[in-house]
Amino acid sequence: MSLKTCFALFFALLITACSQAPVYTDTPLGTLQGYLDEDVEYYLGVPYAQAPIGERRWRPPFQLQPWQGTRKADKNPSVCTQFSPVGGSLTGSEDCLYLNIWTPADKPAKPMPVMVWIHGGGFIVGQGSYFDGDGMRLAQREDVVVVALNYRLGIFGFMAHDELTAEDATHPSSGNYGIMDQTAALHWVRDNIAAFGGDPDNVTIFGQSAGGVSVCAQLASPQAAGLFHRAVIQSGPCVSPMSSLAAGSKLGSEAADQLGCGEHDDTLACLRGKSTSEIANTLPPDPTMGFSEGYTFWWPINDPVILPRQFMDAFKSGQFNQVPVINGATRDEATLLIWLSHNLRFKPLKPEQYLPRLEYLTGSQELAQQVALQYPLENYASTYDALTEAFSDGFFNCMARQQAQALAPHVPLWNYQFDYDEPAFYIPWADLRAFHSAEIQYIMGSPMSFTRSNFKAKEQALADSMMNYWAEFARSGNPNGDGPSQWPLYDQRDQTLIFNLQNSIATGVHAADCRFWEDLPYLRAPYQ
């Protein structure tokens, strides 16, 4: 190594050390040590519940106990146990109920709005923040406190079983542990966020994909009442029905049998005695999240305590936690999912796979043929394009429209579609367009790129507008803030804000195709 290189490394480390000065916050549970960087305080890996291990596996989250002394909170926490989407290796830990906090160092006199991020990943992969600074720019630019949480995933977060249901007579339910974790994190925010400059009476939950479904779950759950005050559903297909507790318990019994615990004298002791790896490899999900044989769904369950109503039943009837809502999706939702399931595995779609893929999605050959007539393969440049449009419309955009129509009679709702064609992605040659999750980078203020930390000049206005709309919504319950109503309320006019380089209002987005999907009885619970 040259002397010049040594000096460069030394000064880089020196700058990093100086820019990350320790900061301290006293909470009701004890003192936390985070660090300061670019005028934002970072508190990473903050526990919000006891580790769900041993006897606490498959139980509601246990309240955290106060600690003595100062607890370091300066490193991104472990992900919850999951299979890596790239390579499929088992990673993470069951000890994962942590959250990250970003709060401006220069705190205004008035407590700041709190924005709680719930990550996506099909309830089988993902984490609250992939990088230490995920929520930093939103907190810095908009004077908000950003919180990102982990929650139990896969079989650890969503396995039901008759004996688990019967274990606690005061809580006759099982299977929704990941949803309970999210609610426990919201309890933690209510009780502790004031120490970080946040307003516990002004909390916005926002999430994408499974995180969007999680927002729907918190809206629908009686357990979450009063814990948040606005909600943002990003690409959350909440029209999809949940399986019943009985069906979930049947799947749980199958898992117990595979683990050799089904006929054990104490089934639960046997299950809790198994290693993390043994449990994770039982009925494992497909880490590409689509189209593989043997895919096992781990998903929220329609149970009598946590989620007593199907989401759409709750929304249509008004029997949900009524708060203002932003709701929407991206135009090309399916590109990323198809790319992960096919192109990333060097198995791009072929024309002869079109009908089988549609049959997989709809659950029937007859329905697949109806969809193929609505989206004829010969009208598209490739099988990828045809399946992208059918999948995006039927399972995301038209579901978002149905959600808006169900919620809007009860609460103020603003609907959007993200359709910018050239968002950054970590693998730049992937043909993804306005892909599933593309909008997150503009809301968080940092491009999805390994090579650059700033947006292209033409994109910065898009990022500024999305960050401002989301933050104004968190501040006041109206994304327009005190300014003119540029983004109209959603009502019978069916108006949607289209996010791209020009931002515009459109009426009846996807209306014709959505009428086709609404008349098609293709929805089914993940397992019966």
d(CA 103, CA 506): 36
Q: Is residue 275 part of a domain?
A: yes
In this model, does residue 526 exceed pLDDT 90? no
Q: Is residue 204 part of a domain?
A: yes
Domain boundary among 288, 323, 358: 323
Reported pTM: 0.95
503: containing domain:
331-528
Task: Report the pLDDT averaged over residues 330-340.
Answer: 95
- pLDDT band of 524, cuts 50, 70, 90: confident
What would the pLDDT profile of 300-314 be if each residue is shown by its tens digit?
A: 999 999 999 999 999
Q: What is the dihedral of CA 85, 91, 96, 101, to 10 degrees?
A: -60
Q: Which residues pair with 268 in a beta bridge?
A: none
pLDDT at 42: 98
- CB 197 within 8 Å of CB 184: no
For 358-388, b/e burial (b = at least 16 CB within 10 A) is: bbebbeeeebbebbbebbeeeebeebbbbbb
Domain boundary among 275, 292, 323: 323
Does residue 275 sit in the same domain as residue 401?
no
What would the pLDDT profile of 115-138 be if each residue is shown by its tens digit?
A: 999 999 999 999 999 988 899 999
d(CA 461, CA 463): 5
In this model, does residue 154 exceed pLDDT 70? yes
Of residues 211 and 12, the one with the higher pLDDT is: 211
Question: How distant is the alpha carbon of residue 382 from its chain centre?
Answer: 30
Q: Is residue 205 part of a domain?
A: yes
- pLDDT band of 297, cuts 50, 70, 90: confident
C-alpha triplet 71, 147, 90: angle, nearest 5°: 80
In this model, does residue 412 exceed pLDDT 90? yes
pLDDT at 527: 82
Q: DSSP string spanning 41-86?
A: EEEEEEE-S----GGGTTSPPPPPPP-SSEEE-BSPPPPBSEE-TT
pLDDT, the chain, mean: 93
Active site residues: 209
Task: Report the pLDDT averaged over residues 403-432.
Answer: 96
Q: Is residue 526 part of a domain?
A: yes
Q: Is residue 6 part of a domain?
A: no
Report the CATH number at residue 80: 3.40.50.1820
Domain boundary among 304, 323, 342: 323
Q: What percent of the chain has pLDDT over 70?
A: 95
Our count of domains for the chain comes to 2
Does residue 304 sit in the same domain as residue 357?
no
Q: Which residues pair with 413 in a beta bridge?
A: 325
